[in-house]
Structure 1
Amino acid sequence: MKKKKAIRFAKDGEGIVQVAALPYRHRRGGAIEVLLVTSRRAGRFIVPKGWPMKGKTFPEAAAEEAKQEAGVVGRVGRRAIGNYRYWKRLRKLSVEVSVIVFPLKVDIELKVWREKRQRIRAWLKPGRAKSLMDNPELSSIVMRANGGLQPVMARKHSRGVRRVGHQELRPGRRAGAAARAQLRLDRMLAA
């Protein structure tokens, strides 16, 4: 869905939906880590999300958003693990958006991805991730996910991509928000 179409839906009083992925991995000993990225404008920590895509199911669109925004590829769950709401500014209009969240078991971290210079990505334990997020509904989804992210997975989204180590964002065009987010992350990890 394009932004223009979302504005039309909002003006008509229809609900607006986005899809999101909650990227996660298992560490030694079975501990789970989740991946958060910063928003481009404000530098808030969020999960990768975006508009549904023509020709793709909601889980496939969520996996594509994770690839574009966080540079991760893996197996996406067919069932949503939750949903949350937030207010989005579309031109001169603020609309409530409902976001459907799907789990994404990360197999590969890309060295280069579409929004690398616009975002910071951080692997965190769910408790620490919760402390960085502003949306209480999203925080709740992350904390519930800590109890067990092992749903039946859909197809693997990893064709032709090689495995690489964790790469952090170098602040680019929106260095102010990225720098503030990095500072918050550094302070939290130092505590």
Structure 2
Amino acid sequence: MAEKRKGDKAGPRARQVAALPWRREADGSIVVLLITSRTNSKWMLPKGWVIPGKSDAESARIEAEEEAGVTGTAAPVPIGSYFYVRQEDDGTTRPSQAVVYSLQVAKELASWDEKKQRKRQWFTPTDAAQAVYERDLARFLANVAAGRIHLAVA
């Protein structure tokens, strides 16, 4: 179990939803889309809180549109999850879990809500696993690369 540090919030693990945007290239290979965080420019998946009145999958789809500027259909069943330490606005940290939904990208938008705050880039799943900062997300993407996690088509 992780050691509690000064400034860490006690209580249950925060739960968010994440989208794993992906597309199939002309040669049949799969690439996944990562975005940078707003605070430290590290590569990550689009993620956020479940939106009241929306399903988890729909909330993940909306996060992908707002943060990464992509649209598509999210599979209704999660393909997995990963754990990370969430940095709160007040500087404290909180153990967190992101439940991941596969999002087959239909369109990349030229303009979106957070375009000026983030970068987006397509990676092979292997390269994505090496690019991300969060260790458990890297493990998750390595499992995608190895074919142990399948990207569901909605």
- Shift >6 Å, 4+ stretches: none
Counterpart in the other structure of 2:92: 93
May I ask how many residue pairs the two structures share in their alignment?
143
Residues 106 and 149 of structure 1: is their aligned pair in 2 closer, same or farther, counting only changes over 3 Å? farther
The change in CA–CA distance for 1:44 and 1:92 in structure 2 (over 3 A counts) is closer
Q: CA deviation at 1:150?
A: 4.4
> How far has the Cα of 1:129 moved from its partner?
1.1
- Report if the CA contact (8 A) 1:22-1:101 is conserved: yes
Structure possessing the higher radius of gyration over alpha carbons? 1
Q: Which one of the candidate residues 21, 27, 30 is aligned to 1:29?
A: 27
Taking only aligned residues, the RMSD between alpha carbons, in angstroms, comes to 1.5
Provide the identity percentage: 36
Mapped contact 2:79–2:152 kept (Cα < 8 A): no
Distance 1:35 1:92 in 2: 28
Choose between structure 1 and 2: higher helix proportion. Answer: 1
Cα distance between partner residues in 2 of 1:114 and 1:14: 30
Scaled by the length of structure 2, what TM-score is found? 0.87
**TM-score of the superposed pair, with normalisation by structure 1:** 0.71
CA contact (8 A) 1:37 1:47 kept: yes
Residues in 1 aligned to 2:16 and 2:125: alpha-carbon distance in whole angstroms = 22
Uncovered stretches (5+) of structure 1, i.e. residues with no partner: 1-9, 154-191
- Which position in structure 2 is the counterpart of 1:140? 139
Deviation, 1:112, is: 0.5
For 2:128, the equivalent position in structure 1 comes to 129
Give SS of 1:119's match: coil
